[in-house]
Structure formats: C-alpha cells, structure tokens
Amino acid sequence: MVLAALLGIVIMVLGFPLLMVQFSGSRLPWDKLADVGDAYGGASALLSAAAMCGVGASLVYQQRQLRQEMVMIERQQHFELVKLAIEDKDLMRAVDGGLAASPEGKQQAYANLTMNYWLSMWELGEIDDEELQGLTAVMFQSRIARTWWLSQEKTWLGTRFRPQRARFMAFVSEQCAAAASSAAATPAVPTPVPTPRSLVRGTALITASLVVAGAVIRVRQSRVRSRAC
C-alpha cells in the first residue's frame, strides 16, 4: 500500500504539467491560480522542515545506538580481562598486587564486575534509581563488598567527561554507608567454637568408665550383703 501511494504521488507530480497544457487553451484565471500555487509555498517549507527534523532525529538515534554498542563492547573486553585475572592470580598481580595477595581478591574482583554491569544498565535506562537501590542494598550486606567499595570509590570511575556518572557513584556510596551503619548497629552473634573430636571421644570414654565402675560397685555390694545374710 505504501509503494502504491508513492507511485500515485509520483504519477500525479509528473503528469500535472501535461494536464495544465491541456487546459492552457481555455480561459482560466491564471493570475488567481498563480496566487493559489504561491500559497502552497508555506506548506512546502513546513514539510521540508519536518523532513529535516526527521533526518536529524534519525542521526541522533543512530549515534545513540552506536554508542550503546561501543559501551557493550568495552564492557565485554573488561569482563574478559577481569575473568582472566580471577582465574590466574599471577595476572592479577601485574595490575594490583595488593588485590592479588588478599584472600578476598576474587570476591572483590567479582564485585567490581557486578558494579560495572549495573552501571551499564543504569546508563542505558534498563534500571532506575529505585532498582539500583535494591541491588546495592543487598550487595553491601556483605563485608567484602563494603570493603572493596570504600577502598575504590574515589578512583573507581572517571566522571570528568561523564558528569552523570557522579550521581551514580554518589548514590552507591550512600547505600554503602547506610549498609555499614546498619551492620555496626547490629550486635555480632558469637560463633560457636567447634569441640575437638579427641575431647568428645575422651569425655565419652570417661562417662562410660564411670557408668561401668558404678555398676561393678553395686554388684559387689549386693554380693556382700547376700553373704552376710
């Protein structure tokens, strides 16, 4: 239907001069017709402006789509690098020796990947501030995640050319501080100390020995009483 409509418009535009030639011999008010034709100039200008706006919007959309693709490629490369560092601490030592030596290095590297993923989703509009608050609130319940963010929040991400990222980092830091305050206010539950197996076995043997000794004493006492009778 669209192609048929376009074809009809083209035929009308090309055939209109031929139609005017057929009526050129008749007595028509050509001056009035010329005024009517000039009146369509404004509508033509508006249509041209609308077409230019459409072209501009299309270019902006293509630029945004290209930027999203570049961001996803960048995130994928970062993921591969951190994945290699997690699997091999020798590679992690080349970038951050302290992180490689830490027993929590793998967990902190994973927290870094997760936060980068959330940043990408937040910039693309896939998650809003409320969803980000729920995600970070759960994440910062872990002491490891809080320790990582407190040590990296000042230098984790550049905001000079992306001012909107400053709001993301401020929001995440706020959630981390709230989780840290909540953890400090909650009393620590003492961890039960496991009893060594040798102590358990020794206690069981002593108890069994006492029971057997008591039984032997009772038997002897009963025999002595029977002989006295």
pLDDT in tens, the chain (229 residues): 878 877 877 777 666 656 665 665 556 566 666 665 666 666 677 777 878 888 888 888 888 788 778 877 877 877 787 788 778 777 777 777 777 788 888 888 888 888 888 888 888 888 888 888 889 989 999 999 999 898 888 878 777 777 888 888 888 999 999 988 888 876 655 555 555 555 455 555 556 555 555 665 565 666 656 555 5
Instruction: Output the pLDDT for position 140.
Output: 92
Distance CA 129, CA 169 (A): 12
Report yes or no on whether pTM surpasses 0.85: no
Helix axes 143-152, 164-185, angle to 10 degrees: 140
- Give the separation between CA 184 and CA 157, rounded to whole angstroms: 27
Contact at 8 Å (CB) between 82 and 114?
A: no
Determine the residue type at 143: R
CA gyration radius for the chain? Answer: 41
What is the reported pLDDT for 102? 81
Integer Cα distance of 179 and 134 in angstroms: 12
Residue type, 61: Y
Classified as helix, coil or strand, 187 is coil
Whether the CB-CB separation of 142 and 103 falls below 8 Å is answered with no
Q: How far apart are CA 133 and CA 175, in angstroms?
A: 7
Q: Could you say which DSSP state residue 142 is in? A: S
Distance, CA of 93 to CA of 85 (rounded, Å)? 8
Output the pLDDT for position 228.
Answer: 53
What is the reported pLDDT for 206? 58
Helices marked H in 88-196 — which ranges? 89-95, 97-101, 105-123, 129-139, 143-152, 164-185
In contact, 175 and 136? CB cutoff 8 Å: yes
Cα–Cα dist 202/198, whole Å: 6
How many angstroms separate the most distant Cα atoms in the chain?
A: 160
